Amino acid sequence: MKKLFVFLFCAFSCSLAYATEPTIGKPAPDFTLSGLLQAPANAPTKLSGLRGNIVVIDFWATWCGACRPALNSLSALSEKFVNKPVRFLAISSEKRDRIERFLQSNPNKLWTGIDSNSQAFNQYQVGPLPHTVVVDQSGTLIAITDAEEMTEERINALLTGKEVTFKRKLTITANEIIAKEFKNVDSTALPSIVFKPCQSATGMSRGDGKRRFTAVMGITNFICSIYQIPYLRLIDSLQSGQQYYMDIFLPQPDAKTLHTVMKNVVESSLNLDVRVEKRTKLVDVLQRKSGVQELLPSSAPKPSFSFQGENLIAIKQPMTELLSYLNGVRNSKVPIIDETGLKGEYDLSMSWEGGKKEDLDKALAKLGLELVSAEREIDMYVLKQKSN
């Protein structure tokens, strides 16, 4: 069986110790940014310098896929308050040149703060990204939330002095949930199967593909993992935001049994019906690039696979791993299918600027590959609730 892929949703965990926890209803922790982009020359770099304004702060990173729609949403919202005492501030702790390159290919209207020493990130104990906080005109922290909670109506209400309630951002991570649940597993009484609802700010999965699989994620991602497909090939009629914790631990390593148990647990527990339908779709075809040296099989002694955003290091891996990575991290609405014909294991390391097609094309060309837009009849997976 193909190994179970690890689905990483835009998450970033801080393990530093903090002196003071930011508290809603208390003065917002102050900070000074290393620099500001897309702001007036005299714009203050200190948060307290914006006193008298409602300040919406969004913590983000260029490698965070979920941060992009949040930035776009807040950018559109900011244009409705151009002449009002409201400031939208997007803060990243990455290097200035990386942020500038990102903004060139992903433009927005937000003041963009450079937090090179992570002072702001530390003051607000930022964990999973994106992370949004709101400070009122008096300098009081009034929300630790998500970008989708920010609306024109809510900001207008704040401007008139009305009390506004924001949904509190989840701060518990998948790692924390798994660490807690692992303590309850009795490895002397196998098999052990746990599947139950949970709430987490992040999602993840891990396992050896033969004896154990552990995950915190939503229905869509479980189905994608079971059927080894990118989410772009799933038609999900449920649109459920509920997450689940799963831990399957078998007494003996058996990849086929592990996969079957995982599939049966998810589909029977949630009464799901998954049907495969042929549909003609616009896709990007991954193929070998003519005139470029062909990708050679790996001579590495053992396989390894890791990535962070647009930086991939995959050693001694099949093309399915590259396909899974590109389908997961690329900012596109069309799936990628493999027509390279390459069946071996390869070294697939690459680095490219997120959202910038020309950079991705150059990175793939170094591997002797290219993406070509075309129509293909492909399998689409239709997810529905079974009728009783």
Q: pLDDT digit string (tens) for 229-270?
A: 998 999 999 888 899 999 999 999 999 999 999 999 999 999
Burial of 160 (0-12, 13-18, 19+ CB in 10 A): exposed
Number of H helices, E strands in the chain: 9, 17
CA distance 334 to 147: 25
Name the burial class of residue 4, with classes exposed (0-12), middle (13-18) and buried (19+) by CB atoms within 10 angstroms of its CB.
buried
User: Is residue 120 within 8 Å of 14, Cβ to Cβ?
Assistant: no
Of the CATH numbers 3.40.30.10, 3.30.390.10, 3.40.140.10, 3.30.590.20, which one belongs to the domain with range 35-159? Answer: 3.40.30.10
Cis amide leading into 191 (omega within 30): yes
Closest CA to 63 of 3, 117, 130: 130
Asked whether 344 and 318 are in contact (CB, 8 A), the reply is yes
Give the mean pLDDT per block of 10 residues along the chain (388 residues): 37 39 91 96 96 97 86 96 96 93 90 96 90 96 94 96 90 89 90 94 88 95 92 90 94 95 96 96 94 89 87 93 88 89 93 78 92 96 90
What's the Cα-to-Cα distance from 88 to each of 72, 112, 169, rounded to whole Å? Answer: 12, 9, 18
Q: What span, in angstroms and rounded, lies between the C-alpha atoms of 272 and 125?
A: 38
Token couple for 223 = 């189905």
Q: Assign residue 25 a region: left if phi > 0, alpha if psi is -120 to 50, beta otherwise? A: left
Per-residue pLDDT at 240 = 87
Parse the chain into domains and list their residue ranges: 35-159, 174-270, 280-380
Give the integer Cα–Cα distance in Å for 277 and 15: 45
The C-alpha atoms of residue 208 and residue 113 are separated, in whole angstroms, by: 41
Determine the pLDDT at residue 187: 87
pLDDT of residue 20: 60
